[in-house]
Amino acid sequence: MALLNILNYPDVRLQKKAKPVEAIDERIHQLVRDMAETMYAAPGIGLAATQVDVHERVVVIDVSETRDQLQVFINPELIWLSEDKKIYEEGCLSVPGIYDKVERADRVRVRALNERGETFEINAEGLLAVCIQHEMDHLLGKVFIEYLSPLKQTRIKTKMKKLTKAM
């Protein structure tokens, strides 16, 4: 396994839309293992392949406190979102140190493939629902700060550019 490099906002590669995974083979299995290791090391609760410059529809999530309940979503699609919304404070491994409130559907249903290529559906609420929506946004080339006001977006972009120059 290997730690992967996480792209930092405003890297333009984060805006790229992910393509569906065509075959769940050893390459995808290795990607999932590497993404999980990277997410846990960061530490984070979710990671989309887009964030590690792989533009395929793969997401790993673990919102458990014990950090031992990895969920893998290949070619995920949101098939239902509740009308009721909640505001959650979100952060992102691609926007380190930045947290802000984002309104999202409180409950969702997602359909995806697991690592064996089997279709499954889950209903999620609370933190898991937020995480699924957040990571699926990455697959569409969208970062959570795009939900914020233009002023906040500009401030964050300026701060992130300064951080990148300082590295």
Read off φ and ψ for residue 151, nearest 5 degrees: -65, -45
Q: What is the CA radius of gyration of the chain?
A: 15
Structure tokens at 98: 């930045």
92 marked among binding-site residues = yes
134 marked among binding-site residues = yes
Helices (H), the chain: 26-41, 126-139, 150-166
Contacts of 30 (CB under 8 A, 6+ apart): none
135 is catalytic: yes
Residue 110: strand pairing partners: 78, 122
Check 22, 90, 135, 146 and give the catalytic one: 135
138 marked among binding-site residues = yes
Give CA–CA dist 76/39, Å, rounded: 18
Residues carrying an active site annotation: 135
Instruction: List binding-site positions for Fe cation.
Output: 92, 134, 138
Instruction: List binding-site positions.
Output: 92, 134, 138
